[in-house]
Structure 1
């Protein structure tokens, strides 16, 4: 799709950034925040969730639609799973460490903290919480960040519990893992001050930098998620959930603007045609002898085929609104929410085994003419009825233009329908957790990552590239700890960034190397108990057997330190074996013999010591 004049279209966008905090325990219990493989679970239990009314007796639209999908939720529990996580015990008090980190974030965002944080329940019945709601507390308001296109206001900062991790979908429902449930999570909501895709990405990058500046946020895939709210002047607010990568945000905004422009154009054409949506109907008889595998499979298994005539829609159901996504795809998304595999429509038929004769009979059955379209669903009776009604409802909104809704981000930057936008009816007070007094003066404002880069360059002499790598890297807190112990900054930075990257590229399982391993290796080098040349071998040994300590890995790798006398003996042997070369080339033989000497010592001696001894031995014989 072409680039648009976003100002002329009246583009308005805002961000919601969700970031997991790297605290020792979860937000409302003392369980660890470690993520494990589902295979490590020790037991399972199931739940069915239902919507509840708000304090005013209202039902949230999003929760109501979710409840129409009858599903069983299965939860994988672990040896650390407690009664709070299983929703069999009330939550404990809000975690102090998470409170302090979120106050640091509020300071970095120039926000005003509230006097008391009151925990609320946010109704969520998609199975991602065992309780049927997510606990959330407002911590601060009215902040601001700077971008090259002007300031972007930060409306609110929430402290919440992370949801359970979706593992798989089954015929009965969804399987979730409980190890993620309850991890402290901050939600940062900006004002709708963003006016271009590029500004959206820059704002997200700035907020991400501020969050990482605390040194207390989790890193890696899935630990930060961006939701993007997008609308244009004649369109509607659409919330796009689950954007994983920062470099995808600008493309998502562009494609959503394009989708809304296309939907508005379709609306105008539908109105010009005086289009309408007809009554749904059972058209199973039309397909009793069909050769279509999908349709025939549903009919032959006792299901049915339902249809809805879309008067005046001919040619528009197949119209592209995003790359490889059409208005028909939008209708199909709604059918899928109710269990259907999708829809067929006459803009794409005959095809998929459906013949021209069956298409003609289908049109006759629902009273559709050449200017009309027909959409069908083939499934079991209940699914077919619910799904075609959902298709009809979505087709009705096409007459109005762009529906307000929540959509999910796809990997290619396009989006799919998830559910209606939630409303205020899903929020109500949490009576099991007392309010928390907030005092921002009790926490220090962290140093920004941009400031760290400059400090690492000026104070420790790191090059600009390495300084930025360390400051923005996930091991920045470990680097800070190492240099606080007096470990050489250049060595520490190189080990944490260059050495670990090199080992990873050599397919060494560096994920098994813990921070304690890394720090202990640095200490051994600093104390002259391990030569720098032996670091790679020790780390590789630990990676292959993470039960080893750094000291044990040194022994295992055969890298225990040698005395200076042993170094001199080894170097002398090398020089004697190459005596002819030494007499002929003198110090010109140094480079070749240095490699041989280091090989003979197998990384057990520091290179500088070996170098000094080798020079002496060559000078004796030259």
Structure 2
């Protein structure tokens, strides 16, 4: 059975979602710094930190944080001219941002969720370097919501307001480099109950939540501003949290592939049980590879490293078994080795290869007393890295004997997933003592108009066709459209500019993302006031993309895109009619179409068509 053909009811699929959405507020959640993203090259200074886990109020250590701390890494942070002491964790956080709270309460209403009586800020232990403080601040705002899908309702367990993490820039030799521009941006997390029973329902639920979020008009748009985590389990499997699903289009594939992966792991578990499988303790097998031709192993040994191996009893043929597209059980073992600094593993299901000879494979088997039904995995690296990595490999192999391990995994671009860390537990949450509690007040919060409702209104009130109405309502520049129409701009002009014209410019390589909402609004206002011919709107937007520091009016003046004056229009039309006076006398208004094109050409596109049309009709009537 392929990964696309599972009987999800028979498999016992249970899934839930965690949607993380950045809010488009003026300032960050616990300080007054702006929420604009910066380029790493703009960084004005850097500093480093080492983070370590702390025990909860009950004296417990979170498993995920503990494993993270075993990897000794330095975290470097890029700071900017806008970075403050709160972001650097050198000053206590300020009060919870009121704008973020108000938007979160709007979202609660759209989810039909009930706000809590008192919102208490909590610290969530995170020691992967993504927070300078070693924890993320998170606040429960509402519970007990619900959305509808074609396959039934999906309950909303909780709605939280959190601070966004720092942006991961790159891996360094010492550890990880982060950028602080993103740290602290208000973020809502929406968690559903495990009510989802198919990949299609998971995608529909995510789409519904996304639509509700965008309906507020107060969320950030673009790559990285919304992330979906998916929790998946099957009857004989285990709960797996898949982090960082960037696109809605990937959710159903992620769920489908994870179900297939767990089914394969269950099948491997059953086969291992039939073979009475077990995992030995790792041991040093460096002597086997003295004088090896393998570049990887030889490189490790020449640097003073070692080769550690582990006998996997009853695993022969199963380490190389595919459990997801282009991923095998051996890939899972390798992920755990990489987690501890190794480059990966070799195993006997794939050897001889990579410069390892048949003789070395035979000697390796003999060194660990492997029988024909056994497999052997090895790690070649520096002494300490090799030892910790092979220990992690052995632990993951033991988990395979038990079945499907509970864990947190990361989403890959091809729809598969990779191991990240153990599932976090309650031990990583404890109260934030620096921020006072907040009593959510819904009394003045208005329920936003849904995007689905906007589409219908745009059709009725503005006479937009369905397709264009949907593009505008669901588009990232919907607030610009509403503002422009409210200020008297023709709805069709506003809609086609913000959707069709923008799409054409982007296809032509114009960096349209450089144009701000204020510049879009300014361009449309100029067209409304006949200070900019509608035919020049695209040229103006292109000019603004190249010079985002200019206002729309300044760009019109610099590029000479402004419209001809009323007197210039009349003069040009008069000259066209006089040149074609004989035709006008013979045809009257029948000459209008031909002369209209000539008049627009004479004005070089610098006049509004309606103004030219009116002047031309007037001149023809005088001579008819």
TM-score, with length taken from structure 2: 0.97
**Structure 2 residues without counterparts, runs of 5 or longer:** none
Alignment partners' CA distance in 2, 1:262 and 1:479:
50
Per-residue deviation at 1:577?
A: 5.7
Contact 1:122 1:134 in 2 (8 A): yes
Corresponding residue of 2:358: 356
Alignment partner of 1:538 out of 518, 537, 540: 540
Per-residue deviation at 1:553?
A: 1.6
Q: SS at 1:230's partner residue?
A: strand
Corresponding residue of 2:39: 37
Corresponding residue of 1:192: 194
Compared CA separation, residues 483 and 615, structure 1 to 2 (3 A): closer
Contact 2:17 2:191 in 1 (8 A): yes
Give runs of aligned pairs for residues 259-408 of structure 1, distance below 5 A: 259-408=261-410
> What is the CA deviation profile of residues 453-476 of structure 1, one whole-angstrom value per residue up to 9, with x for unaligned ones?
111111222211111111111111
Alignment partner of 2:601 out of 599, 602, 614: 599
Give runs of aligned pairs for residues 233-252 of structure 1, distance below 5 A: 233-252=235-254
**Structure 1 residues without counterparts, runs of 5 or longer:** none
> What is the CA deviation profile of residues 541-578 of structure 1, one whole-angstrom value per residue up to 9, with x for unaligned ones?
22222222222222122233333331132234445566
Contact 1:26 1:182 in 2 (8 A): yes
Per-residue deviation at 1:618?
A: 5.8
Alignment partners' CA distance in 1, 2:604 and 2:22:
43
Give runs of aligned pairs for residues 214-229 of structure 1, distance below 5 A: 214-229=216-231
Contact 1:136 1:160 in 2 (8 A): yes
Q: SS at 1:102's partner residue?
A: helix
> What is the CA deviation profile of residues 73-120 of structure 1, one whole-angstrom value per residue up to 9, with x for unaligned ones?
000001000000000000000000000000010110001100110000
> What is the CA deviation profile of residues 459-503 of structure 1, one whole-angstrom value per residue up to 9, with x for unaligned ones?
222211111111111111122222222322222222211222222
Per-residue deviation at 1:538?
A: 2.0
Pairwise CA RMSD: 1.7
Alignment partners' CA distance in 2, 1:120 and 1:287:
52
> What is the CA deviation profile of residues 319-353 of structure 1, one whole-angstrom value per residue up to 9, with x for unaligned ones?
00000000000000000000111000000000011
Q: SS at 2:35's partner residue?
A: coil
Contact 1:559 1:603 in 2 (8 A): no
Contact 1:73 1:173 in 2 (8 A): yes
Corresponding residue of 1:47: 49
Q: SS at 2:156's partner residue?
A: strand
Per-residue deviation at 1:620?
A: 7.0
Per-residue deviation at 1:159?
A: 0.4
1:496 and 2:498 equivalent?
yes
1:474 and 2:476 equivalent?
yes
Contact 1:559 1:602 in 2 (8 A): no
Give runs of aligned pairs for residues 387-536 of structure 1, distance below 5 A: 387-536=389-538
Q: SS at 2:443's partner residue?
A: helix
Alignment partner of 2:161 out of 128, 148, 159: 159
> What is the CA deviation profile of residues 505-531 of structure 1, one whole-angstrom value per residue up to 9, with x for unaligned ones?
222221221111111122222223222
Per-residue deviation at 1:621?
A: 7.4
Contact 1:508 1:543 in 2 (8 A): yes
**467-476 or 197-206, larger mean C-alpha shift:** 467-476
Corresponding residue of 1:59: 61
> What is the CA deviation profile of residues 3-31 of structure 1, one whole-angstrom value per residue up to 9, with x for unaligned ones?
11111111000000000000000000000
Corresponding residue of 1:128: 130
Compared CA separation, residues 336 and 580, structure 1 to 2 (3 A): farther
Contact 1:115 1:439 in 2 (8 A): no
Alignment partner of 1:93 out of 92, 95, 100: 95
Alignment partners' CA distance in 2, 1:590 and 1:361:
95
Corresponding residue of 2:552: 550
Alignment partners' CA distance in 1, 2:548 and 2:598:
31
Contact 1:541 1:556 in 2 (8 A): no
Contact 1:197 1:249 in 2 (8 A): yes
Alignment partners' CA distance in 2, 1:494 and 1:243:
32
Q: SS at 1:376's partner residue?
A: strand
Q: SS at 1:378's partner residue?
A: strand
Contact 1:21 1:218 in 2 (8 A): yes
Alignment partners' CA distance in 2, 1:404 and 1:35:
35
Alignment partners' CA distance in 1, 2:581 and 2:360:
94
The count of corresponding residues between Structure 1 and Structure 2 is 622
TM-score, with length taken from structure 1: 0.97
Compared CA separation, residues 617 and 68, structure 1 to 2 (3 A): same
Per-residue deviation at 1:408?
A: 0.3
Compared CA separation, residues 356 and 84, structure 1 to 2 (3 A): same
